[in-house]
Structure 1
Amino acid sequence: MNQDYIVPDPWSIIEDGYEPDRVKSSESLFSLGNGAMGQRANFEETYSGPTFQGSYIGGVYYPDKTRVGWWKNGYPEYFAKVLNAPNWIGIDIHIDGEPLDLAACSKVENFRRELNMQEGVYYRSFEAELPGGTRIAVKVTRFLSMEIDEVGAIRYAIQPLNRNAAISFEPYLDGGITNEDTNWDDPFWEVTSVESEGARAYIGAHTLKTHFDTCTFMHAVLERDGKAVDGDRQEVRGEKRIGHRYTADAEKGQELVLYKFGGYAADLNHPKGSLRKAADKALDQALSLGFDGLKKAQQDAWARIWEMSDITIEGDVRAQQGIRFNILHLNQTYTGRNSRLNIGPKGFTGEKYGGSTYWDTEAYCIPFYMATKDQQVARQLLKYRYNHLEKAIENAEKLGFSNGAALYPMVTMNGEECHNEWEITFEEIHRNSAIAFAIFNYFRYTGDYSYIPEMGLEVLIGIARFWYQRATFSKAKNKYVILGVTGPNEYENNVNNNWYTNYSARWCIRYAIEQLGKVKDGYPEDYDRVVGLTKLNPQEVSAWKKVADNLYFPYSEEHRVYLQQDGFLDKELITVENLDRKERPINQKWSWDRILRSPYIKQADTLQGFYFFESDFSLDQLERHFDFYEPFTVHESSLSPCVHSIQAARLGRMEQAYTFYLRTSRLDLDDYNKEVHEGLHITSMAGTWMSIVEGFGGMRIVDDKLSFSPRIPKEWKSYSFKINFRHRIIHVTVAPGQTRFELDGKEEMSIRVNGKRVVLTPGQTTTV
């Protein structure tokens, strides 16, 4: 049974009623972010119940020493962990001397949370009765500013309901925090200064080992009836904590409001010696706008984001809520302003997966950012990988490769591999292909070839060299084989000739060779520079081609399908529908030995290849492979339902496509995997966007032109989306029996719809 406490609403995530058992889940679901920092939806006031405190700064990490039973050559020495940063949101509350703590209150009524997705603002309200009998009403508003991305703002209002009360507010900063996710319980932070001046406070802290310097800061103002409350402001100081206590009397029915502005200045963006100065500048900017002005700027910023990235669905509130929740968090996680940042699978909502970068970015996220932002944002993600090319070459050297072969990491913060499970670190090498495919995908979509001669060609050469060296010639098969790998299906390790790995390796080599020719002809200066840097010669390229042209692909004549890997048909081929539901999910119920011997597929594997390289295969081939592999797929990866939704839609199986879409769009809202308390699945949210645009909308690039094959689930009256294609914005609206196109721009544009040419004229609606 999935959770179902989130109230269906097209523009908001709403929780009605206080339930201690779901506090940690809601802390994930109602998380905030602005691309530079993030905050789980922890209560500002003291809470003694189960909670997962989480405040995060983009790009700040700690190299947590690898914990393994025994060491293997080539193992990464650490797993990079995104750090729970000093807490800036805290506000201790006392009512007539009693602490406000929902876990200790006699009654909590009318509890409500709302994450208003349209505004990017989080609201919380409740009424509580303290043990001493005082009843209060509380209203909290919080957001992380998209305008000033180092600042967050809180409005915390308290009203006594049944008697006059003395209310004390203590806004504070706390540097004495720990990570939920840690290998050895090492301290990650060292607090270097605790300072206070007037209404402001600062905690200086730096990370151990990585030596990131940060300044956590705050400024608070207490108001009654819109005017600052006169009175003493008492400093409350601890070894790693600083606060200011404000106490005021409130008559029954009278509201006291504390405004708190806080956040982080980090040496990623400022010189190490000027962080307090940077903090003051950010606070001055926020205070000049005031809470209401900053909130208005927040609403305006999100209006601009939604203007381009919104997807509307008419007639299905749960589906509408799901896609907007996904789009919200993608925009909260990554804005494209900083090429040193990337997209972690949990974003700013938790610590699982270390907050590091995976192949998810290239395989799933780039299409969303290309289509809903300016192409420069997607280019920043590709630049991130180019900046880490030297580290990718070092990663390959550690495993015995040479001559500039590059193996991009499975998990990274700075380009260095930091995943510490051997079957992933050493064997899940298909991640290399996702990097090359993203370069191809970027050019295919944007038409911007400049990235390849400037940066991408060096990356493609390093990847081609890796695949050339990783292949082995088999005399028995008279073919080149790739042994000892883990494909996208992580429920099978150390297999030989995973079809997706082999196919993508061949594609990478051929694509690198093709780009060498194009750059030589069109950008001779870049070609000479790159060839000189890489010491590439024609004999080496010929050797690559020989491997690519003679790679082995396991195939079953009986089933007329490519086999996921050698020996797949040796398994006991019992389909998922014949599994006892009590055995699911198998990753929580079965031993790893049993999983590895089973035919069960965690996520699209062979079908991942049919998604990436769709134009290489006929619809009949896709159908055969879908019908063969999907029945063995348990979809226990968040990245699985979206690819299957796209493939099912292409096959015209709309009921199945819709089911997969709901699963991917509401994966966290309905907690399909029973793990939402750990954080959200940010990278799979980009797959949700693809399920609609590429799946139902059928958007593709065919012969350098935009193409659509629109379909619509029977549950929907219509749906619409916008895409930014080569600096022109196309608005697509799909309803049963017709699709409408509107074009922003100055010039006509030719597209294909269901295989036929259609000319769009700016300012006119074209109906097909």
Structure 2
Amino acid sequence: MNQDYIIADPWSLIEEGFQPERVKSSESLFSMGNGAMGQRANFEESYSGSTFQGSYIGGVYYPDKTRVGWWKNGYPEYFAKVLNAPNWIGIDVSADGQVLDLNTAKAVANFRRELNMKEGWYSRSFEVTFSNDLKLQIKAVRFLSMKWDEAGAIKYSVTPLNRKANLRFEPYLDSGITNEDTNWDDPFWETTSVRSSGNRAYIEAHTLKTRFHTCTFMDARLESDGKDLELKPQEVIGQKRIGLAYDLEVNEGQTVDLVKIGGYTVGTNHDKDKLTEAADAVMDLATGAGFEQLLEDQRQAWAAVWEMSDITIEGDVKAQQGIRFNIFHLNQTYTGRDSRLNIGPKGFTGEKYGGSTYWDTEAYCIPFYMATKDQHVARNLLKYRYNHLEKAIENAQKLGFKDGAALYPMVTMNGEECHNEWEITFEEIHRNGAIAFAIYNYYRYTGDYSYIPEMGLEVLIGIARFWHQRATFSEHKDKYVILGVTGPNEYENNVNNNWYTNYMARWCIQWTLEQLDKVEEGYPEDYTRIVGHTKLTDRETEQWAKVADNMYFPRSEEHNIYLQQDGFLDKELVTVDKLSRSERPINQKWSWDRILRSPYIKQADTLQGFYFFEDHFTVDQLERHFDFYEPFTVHESSLSPCVHAIQAARLGRMEQAYTFYLRTSRLDLDDYNKEVHEGLHITSMAGTWMSIVEGFGGMRIREDKLSFRPQIPEQWKSFSFKINFRNRILKVKVSASGSSFELDSQEEMSIRVNDKRVVLSPGKTTDA
């Protein structure tokens, strides 16, 4: 049974009532971020119950030495992990000598927390009764500034309810933190300085091995009735912790507010020897503005984000909450300001998957950022891969490839492969194709070809070289084959001729050859530079073409479909509907051996290729493959329902598409996979956006123009979304009675709706 304690609301996540068993799940769901840093929704005050403390800084990681039973040549030496960073949110509170701790309190009443997605803040309130029957009311509001992304702010308010009390506030910083997920329990941080100055405190620390230098900082002030109480704090200092203690007597009904500004300055953005000065500059800005102005700035920043990226759904509050939750976390995780950063599958909400970059970014995330931001945001994601090209070449060399062949990593922080499961590291090579597809997808959508001669063509050459060398000529088949791979369906390892991988390989080579011709003709100086740098020859490209033109694709004439891999029909083909619910999920109930021999598919595999290359196939072909493969799909990857939602909608199966949509949009809110306590599924959230825009909206690029085939689930009255297409803003609204399009541009725009040409005029709404 799925969890259902989150109250349905169109703009907020709301939890009412304190239940200790929900704390870890809520810490994930109510997480905050601003692109540069993030934190789980841990309590500010002490909590002795079960909790997963987590604060994270974008781009700061540690190379945790690989731990495997035996070593294989080519294994990565470490798994890069996003680090639990020094904690700046902590505020210890005691009243009449008793520590505020919801786990040990005599009673907790009126507990409520809210994540206001519209305005970008998180609040928590409750009444607590101590063993001496003193009652306090607590209200806390916090946010991570979207305007000043090195800073966050907390307003923590305490009111004695039934008598006056002696209160002690101790806001603190703590670098004595550990990761939940470590291979060897090594220390990741070295603390070098702990100090305070007035009502400010600083901890300087750097990561071991990677030497990321940081300053964690705070400014803490007490107020009552909007006036600074001007109390001098007592320094409470340790080797890795520093607090500023304030003692005062507070009358019954009087509210005291602790306003705390905190955050990080990092050596990647500042002189590592002047991080404290940089922290002071941030705090001067924040305290000069004041908490209320910072909060107003936050509201305005999020209003601008939502103006472009919101999707509205009329008539289905849970669906509305689900899509906004997904869009909110995507915008918290990545803002596009820094091309050194990328999007981890858990974002800033947990440590699973190491916080690293996967192929998810290129396959699922780029469409969202292209359509809801300026194109430079998606371009920065592509630039990230170009900047790591030399590392991709090194990764391929470690596996025996040569002459500039590039294998992009399955998991990375800095371009180096750091995944240590052999069936992933060595075999899940289809990720290379996703990088090339993202370059194609970016150009197809934005019309910006400049990335390819500037950077992209070198990436494509490295990838094409890899596919050429990875293919083997089979005399038996008289075709090129690709052996020993794992496709997107990770429930099959070490298979031969995974159709999706082979199709990707052929397409990558063919499209690279097309771009070489195009760059040679239109950008001769870039062509000369690139060919000279890569030492590319006509003889080599002829060999590529030979591989692409003679690629083998497994096929069943009986079923008239492409086979997922050579041996798929050798399996016992029992569909998922015949599986007992007690056997699900199979990744938690079955041995790995049993899973590998089963026909069950973790996520779209052959159907992933039909999603990417929809225009290569007819609707009849899609229907045959969908009807064959979906019944074997257990959807135990968060990336699976969205692709199936889009394809079900393409086939006109809206009830099935809607079911898939609900699963992807509320995957975390309803905890379908029983793992939300570990963090959220950030990259699959981009797939949720695609489910509506590409699925129900039917948005495609056809012949260099936008095309729509709108449909609406019968559970909805209407839905609407905006997209930025080549610097023209288009608002699309769909209802049961039809669809309308509103253009924000200086000139007319031609689109296609249900295969008919529609001309849109600036500032006007056109029904179609």
Category of TM-score, reference length = shorter chain: over 0.9
- SS, match of residue 290 in structure 2: helix
Distance 2:232 2:152 in 1: 25
Question: Structure 2: any 5+ residue segments left out of the alignment?
Answer: none
Deviation at 1:228, TM superposition (A): 1.6
What are the superposed Cα offsets for residues 551-610 of structure 1, whole Å, 9 maximum, x if unpaired? 100000000000000010000000000001000000000000000000000000000000
- SS, match of residue 637 in structure 2: coil
The residue aligned with 1:765 is 765
Distance 1:523 1:153 in 2: 50
The residue aligned with 2:666 is 666
What are the superposed Cα offsets for residues 668-715 of structure 1, whole Å, 9 maximum, x if unpaired? 000000000000000000000000000000000000000000000000
Distance 1:392 1:761 in 2: 46
- SS, match of residue 6 in structure 1: coil
The residue aligned with 1:269 is 269
Give percent identity, aligned residues only: 77
- SS, match of residue 646 in structure 1: helix
The 5 A counterparts of 1:320-399 are: 320-399=320-399
Residue type of the alignment partner of 1:760: L
The residue aligned with 2:479 is 479
Distance 1:52 1:722 in 2: 37
Distance 2:237 2:271 in 1: 27
The count of corresponding residues between Structure 1 and Structure 2 is: 768
Distance 1:541 1:433 in 2: 18
Distance 1:5 1:226 in 2: 35
Deviation at 1:231, TM superposition (A): 3.5
- SS, match of residue 70 in structure 2: coil
Question: Structure 1: any 5+ residue segments left out of the alignment?
Answer: none
Distance 1:53 1:724 in 2: 38
The residue aligned with 1:497 is 497
Residue type of the alignment partner of 1:184: W
Residue type of the alignment partner of 2:70: W
Distance 2:702 2:114 in 1: 42
Residue type of the alignment partner of 2:146: M
The 5 A counterparts of 1:101-500 are: 101-500=101-500
The residue aligned with 1:38 is 38
Distance 1:181 1:422 in 2: 20
Matched, 1:2 2:23: no
The 5 A counterparts of 1:561-640 are: 561-640=561-640
Please tell me whether the aligned partners of residues 113 and 124 of structure 2 are also in contact (alpha carbons under 8 angstroms).
Answer: yes
Deviation at 1:149, TM superposition (A): 0.2
Distance 1:142 1:513 in 2: 52
Residue type of the alignment partner of 1:325: F
Residue type of the alignment partner of 1:535: K
- SS, match of residue 428 in structure 1: coil
Deviation at 1:737, TM superposition (A): 2.6
- SS, match of residue 439 in structure 1: helix
Distance 1:232 1:500 in 2: 66
Deviation at 1:227, TM superposition (A): 1.4
The residue aligned with 1:707 is 707
Please tell me whether the aligned partners of residues 648 and 657 of structure 2 are also in contact (alpha carbons under 8 angstroms).
Answer: yes
Distance 2:150 2:527 in 1: 41
Please tell me whether the aligned partners of residues 471 and 480 of structure 2 are also in contact (alpha carbons under 8 angstroms).
Answer: yes
Please tell me whether the aligned partners of residues 708 and 752 of structure 1 are also in contact (alpha carbons under 8 angstroms).
Answer: yes
Distance 1:268 1:424 in 2: 31
The residue aligned with 1:63 is 63
Please tell me whether the aligned partners of residues 641 and 660 of structure 2 are also in contact (alpha carbons under 8 angstroms).
Answer: yes
Residue type of the alignment partner of 2:662: L
What are the superposed Cα offsets for residues 171-230 of structure 1, whole Å, 9 maximum, x if unpaired? 000010000010000000000100110110000000000000000000000012221224
Q: Displaced runs of 4+ in structure 1, greater than 2 A? A: none
Distance 2:521 2:754 in 1: 35
Please tell me whether the aligned partners of residues 365 and 687 of structure 1 are also in contact (alpha carbons under 8 angstroms).
Answer: yes
Deviation at 1:746, TM superposition (A): 0.7
Distance 1:683 1:722 in 2: 20
The residue aligned with 2:79 is 79
Please tell me whether the aligned partners of residues 229 and 248 of structure 1 are also in contact (alpha carbons under 8 angstroms).
Answer: no
- SS, match of residue 328 in structure 1: helix
Distance 2:260 2:567 in 1: 62
Distance 1:445 1:61 in 2: 33
- SS, match of residue 539 in structure 1: helix
Distance 1:587 1:763 in 2: 52
- SS, match of residue 722 in structure 2: strand
Matched, 1:100 2:100: yes
Deviation at 1:289, TM superposition (A): 0.8
Distance 1:757 1:693 in 2: 19
Distance 2:207 2:634 in 1: 40
Distance 2:265 2:652 in 1: 51
Distance 2:322 2:278 in 1: 38
Please tell me whether the aligned partners of residues 222 and 231 of structure 2 are also in contact (alpha carbons under 8 angstroms).
Answer: no
Residue type of the alignment partner of 2:209: K
What are the superposed Cα offsets for residues 616-657 of structure 1, whole Å, 9 maximum, x if unpaired? 000000000000000000000000000000000000000000
What are the superposed Cα offsets for residues 351-380 of structure 1, whole Å, 9 maximum, x if unpaired? 000000000000000000000000000000
- SS, match of residue 7 in structure 1: coil
Residue type of the alignment partner of 1:305: V
Distance 2:554 2:517 in 1: 31
The residue aligned with 1:647 is 647
Distance 1:581 1:385 in 2: 42
The residue aligned with 2:521 is 521
Distance 2:223 2:758 in 1: 61
Please tell me whether the aligned partners of residues 499 and 553 of structure 1 are also in contact (alpha carbons under 8 angstroms).
Answer: yes
Please tell me whether the aligned partners of residues 156 and 257 of structure 2 are also in contact (alpha carbons under 8 angstroms).
Answer: yes
Deviation at 1:132, TM superposition (A): 1.6
Deviation at 1:247, TM superposition (A): 1.1
The residue aligned with 1:689 is 689
Residue type of the alignment partner of 1:481: V
Distance 1:234 1:720 in 2: 55
- SS, match of residue 2 in structure 2: coil
Distance 1:58 1:398 in 2: 28
Distance 2:544 2:673 in 1: 42
Distance 1:117 1:35 in 2: 15
Distance 2:100 2:386 in 1: 51
Distance 2:217 2:249 in 1: 27
Distance 1:333 1:55 in 2: 13
CA RMSD of aligned residues (A): 0.4
Residue type of the alignment partner of 2:514: E
Distance 1:698 1:227 in 2: 55
Please tell me whether the aligned partners of residues 330 and 685 of structure 2 are also in contact (alpha carbons under 8 angstroms).
Answer: yes
Distance 1:733 1:232 in 2: 57
Distance 1:745 1:493 in 2: 50
What are the superposed Cα offsets for residues 262-317 of structure 1, whole Å, 9 maximum, x if unpaired? 00000111111111111011101101110000000000000000000000000000
Distance 1:231 1:371 in 2: 50
TM-score (norm 2): 1.00
Please tell me whether the aligned partners of residues 88 and 218 of structure 1 are also in contact (alpha carbons under 8 angstroms).
Answer: yes
The residue aligned with 1:553 is 553
Distance 2:271 2:694 in 1: 44
Distance 2:94 2:580 in 1: 53
Distance 1:731 1:401 in 2: 48
- SS, match of residue 43 in structure 2: coil
Please tell me whether the aligned partners of residues 198 and 232 of structure 2 are also in contact (alpha carbons under 8 angstroms).
Answer: no
Distance 1:100 1:168 in 2: 10
The residue aligned with 1:717 is 717
Please tell me whether the aligned partners of residues 199 and 232 of structure 2 are also in contact (alpha carbons under 8 angstroms).
Answer: no
